[in-house]
Amino acid sequence: MTALAHERPETMTEIRTEPQCLPENGPGLDRVLWQAWKAMELPEGYRAEIIEGAIEVSPTGRYSHARVVNRLRDALADFLRGSEHAAWNDTNVIHGHRAWIPDGFVAPRDEEPAATEDDLGIKAPAVELIFEIVSPGKRSQDRDRIKKRREYARAGIPVYVIIDDYDGEGAVTLFTGPRPDRADWEDIHRVPYGTEVTIPEGPAKGFVVTEAITGPARTKK
């Protein structure tokens, strides 16, 4: 079965967050965080992001995480071949004094208009679609399900997709219609693993997230 963004199965629950404001850091602290982030030298296997006014350091994903990232990247690359857009990962997405490293995203192939002037990453307005693959642990899950969900909405990212082994027996959640003023999304569609999800807009319109990417539903023990 294939699910589109406007379809809302009655059996599916939705994860919603209350509208949130950014911490009252002010431009001074934002600049301090930005400079600290740029100067960081992390040990191999770690990465740092600026999320909702704080620097968050996390380890790179385990094998099961990387396997899904690779499946997704390969499928997106095939889908976008010959177009002006490409599948990206392991690259900074920059929005003001925020910096994120999505597990996968779609942005233009060429440097203009995508790259930041300082070559630190890709400008958020050039990003058409972001994927996050959820890692184990409450902190990692909250980062993708709540914090990044709000950050990507604030940045006006058109489409956000979460692939989540830890939501029930595995679920894919599709967010469209970002509302930067509310740090949330107009349309939220969540389906279990095994139900195909089709990207409804942008350069990846028609791309299908299938079980070949997510893997099968997890059996609870």
For the chain, which ranges sit under pLDDT 70?
1-27, 220-221
- For residues 154 and 152, what is the distance between their CA atoms, to the nearest angstrom? 5
Convert the pLDDT of each residue in 168-219 to its tens digit: 999 999 999 999 999 999 999 999 999 999 999 999 999 999 999 999 998 7
List of domains in the chain = 2-7+62-214 (3.90.1570.10)
Q: Are strands 122-123 and 184-192 parallel, antiparallel or unpaired?
A: unpaired
Give residues with Cβ within 8 angstroms of 28, minimum separation 6.
Answer: none
